């Protein structure tokens, strides 16, 4: 290059533009290589995280939480920002009963996403294991009314509320469980199975009316559903609607439901209907005959109880009058195994004799039994069919004494069976009315 003329010498070339082009080309190549290496590294990290996460899922599904914990930790090493990996690690820690570590992970996740239903559900389960009832209820409701990131929100919400209801029933918190069941009703699908399940839960919560309604809804959807038929029969039985209970239970037994509980309830319902002197459609003579029959049965029960307690009773003259099949004892209902008598009468346990009272109260028991025996002796001559037909008040007086006898003997000599159980149920029904 000539310094004076500014012209390019022959045979020379442009050095600066070529150099710049080479630098730009090298920079592009280096940048592309860097981007490729970074993406390759990230994809490798992602692949390794997924691989370890898959191994952890397999170990957790196989019931091996300890290896799963290590696998999930390895997955977090390669994908430390993935909240799903941290949640699964917390669940594995819970499965391994490492509650404090699981709680720290879950609380960190909850602070980032307090409306995440999955996290709330895991915290609720952890609180249940720790015995923190208030926290468990709070997190359960957070799960029910929160957001489900994995979809199927309606089904997951229903399942979570059912889990909460089972927890409340396990704590015998029947009032709150009943409230949760009522809140669950609008979410139930039109299928017999969930209505039957909710009906059974209503029975456990001592809400027989709503339980019966759910069983009836299940029967509208599936008229031959044997579980719903048995549940409806049990609910009607607990409400003292023995005719309705017998109808449901007969359909259940005819449909192949050979559950001892259903057969027991059916036999007891039939006995109640057979011995009820105040049933609709009875003539005055039939009513009087049933009162005579009930009076004789209660007298026998009182004597048996006195013999069991070694209480001496004055002999009473035999009752007059005749009643259909009064000489032969009624067939006994099967031994109670369902616990329904305990549910109805509270302190009476089916199939068990009363615990012997201490000496201080034994004298009181004997006096009570002897007083009842004296009342029986006073009424015996008057409890005759023709007299009861003409004097309904005498029949009411006799049935009142029958009620006292069955109640006292049930408390002192164990829960009754057969006709005595039917009379006790009738007495309970009369008290509620």
Instruction: Express each pLDDT in 256-307 by its tens digit.
Output: 767 888 888 999 999 999 999 988 889 999 999 999 999 999 999 988 888 8
**What pLDDT score was predicted for residue 139?**
95
Q: Please, what is the average pLDDT of the chain?
A: 80
How many domains are contained in the chain?
1
* Cβ-based neighbour number of residue 51 at 10 Å: 14
How do residues 124-167 score in pLDDT, each as one tens digit?
Answer: 999 999 899 999 999 999 999 999 877 778 889 999 999 999 99
Q: Is residue 356 part of a domain?
A: yes
Q: Label residue 97 exposed, middle or buried (CB < 10 Å: 0-12, 13-18, 19+).
A: exposed
Q: Is residue 235 part of a domain?
A: no
Residue at token pair 């995440």:
116
* Long-range contact set of residues 97-103: C-beta below 8 Å, sequence gap at least 24: 98/69, 99/126, 99/129, 99/130, 102/126
pLDDT at 345 over 60: no
**What pLDDT score was predicted for residue 9?**
56
Lowest mean pLDDT among 141-155, 173-187, 212-226: 141-155
Task: Find the mean pLDDT for residues 94-113.
Answer: 84
Q: Is residue 240 part of a domain?
A: no
Tokens in use for 346? 């509270």
* Of residues 45 and 359, more confidently modeled: 45
Q: Which of 417, 261, 293 is nearest to 351 (CA)?
A: 417
Phi, psi of 146 (to 5 degrees): -90, -160
Q: Is residue 247 part of a domain?
A: no
**What pLDDT score was predicted for residue 328?**
38
Q: Is residue 411 part of a domain?
A: yes
How do residues 183-206 score in pLDDT, each as one tens digit?
Answer: 999 989 999 999 999 999 999 999
* Cβ-based neighbour number of residue 283 at 10 Å: 9
Q: Is residue 85 part of a domain?
A: no
**What pLDDT score was predicted for residue 327?**
35
Q: Is residue 303 part of a domain?
A: yes
pLDDT at 252 over 50: yes
List b or e across 119-140, with b for residues whose CB sees 16 or more CB atoms inside 10 angstroms. bbbbbbbbbbeeeeeeebbebb
Q: Is residue 225 part of a domain?
A: no
Task: State the number of CA atoms in the 13 A half-sphere of 100 facing the CB.
Answer: 0
Its domain, for residue 410, covers 287-432
Q: Label residue 37 exposed, middle or buried (CB < 10 Å: 0-12, 13-18, 19+).
A: exposed
How do residues 348-406 score in pLDDT, each as one tens digit?
Answer: 443 333 333 334 455 557 888 888 888 888 888 888 888 888 888 898 899 999 989 98
């Amino acid at each position: 290059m000539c310094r004076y003329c500014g012209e390019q010498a022959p045979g020379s070339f442009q050095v600066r533009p070529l150099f710049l082009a080479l630098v730009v080309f090298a920079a592009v190549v280096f940048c592309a290589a860097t981007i490729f290496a970074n993406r390759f590294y990230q994809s490798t990290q992602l692949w390794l995280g997924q691989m370890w996460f898959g191994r952890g899922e397999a170990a957790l599904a196989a019931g091996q939480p300890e290896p799963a914990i290590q696998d999930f930790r390895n997955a977090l090493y390669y994908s430390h920002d993935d909240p799903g990996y941290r949640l699964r690690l917390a669940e594995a820690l819970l499965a391994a009963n490492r509650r404090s570590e699981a709680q720290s992970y879950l609380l960190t996740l909850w602070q980032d996403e307090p409306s995440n239903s999955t996290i709330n559900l895991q915290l609720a389960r952890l609180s249940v294991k720790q015995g923190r009832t208030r926290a468990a209820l709070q997190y359960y409701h957070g799960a029910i009314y929160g957001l489900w990131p994995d979809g199927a929100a309606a089904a997951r919400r229903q399942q979570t509320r059912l889990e909460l209801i089972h927890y409340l029933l396990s704590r015998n918190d029947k009032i709150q469980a009943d409230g949760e069941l009522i809140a669950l009703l609008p979410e139930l699908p039109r299928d017999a199975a969930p209505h039957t399940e909710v009906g059974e839960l209503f029975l456990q919560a001592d809400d027989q009316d709503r339980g019966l309604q759910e069983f009836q809804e299940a029967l509208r959807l599936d008229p031959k559903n044997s579980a719903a038929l048995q549940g409806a029969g049990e609910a009607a039985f607990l409400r003292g609607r023995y005719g309705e209970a017998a109808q449901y239970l007969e359909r259940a037994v005819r449909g192949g439901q050979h559950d001892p509980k259903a057969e027991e309830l059916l036999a007891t319902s039939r006995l109640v209907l057979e011995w009820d002197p105040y049933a609709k459609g009875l003539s005055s003579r039939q009513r009087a005959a049933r009162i005579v029959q009930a009076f004789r049965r209660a007298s026998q029960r009182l004597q048996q109880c006195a013999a069991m307690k070694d209480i001496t009773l004055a002999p009473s003259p035999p009752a007059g009058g005749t009643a259909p099949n009064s000489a032969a004892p009624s067939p006994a209902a099967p031994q109670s195994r369902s616990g329904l008598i305990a549910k109805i009468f509270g302190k009476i346990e089916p199939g068990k004799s009363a615990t012997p009272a201490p000496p201080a109260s034994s004298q009181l028991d004997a006096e009570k039994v002897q007083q009842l025996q004296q009342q029986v002796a006073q009424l015996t001559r008057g409890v005759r069919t023709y007299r009861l037909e003409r004097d309904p008040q005498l029949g009411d007086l006799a049935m009142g004494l029958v009620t006292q006898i069955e109640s006292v003997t049930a408390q002192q000599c164990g829960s009754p069976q057969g006709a005595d159980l039917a009379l006790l149920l009738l007495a309970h029904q009369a008290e509620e009315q």
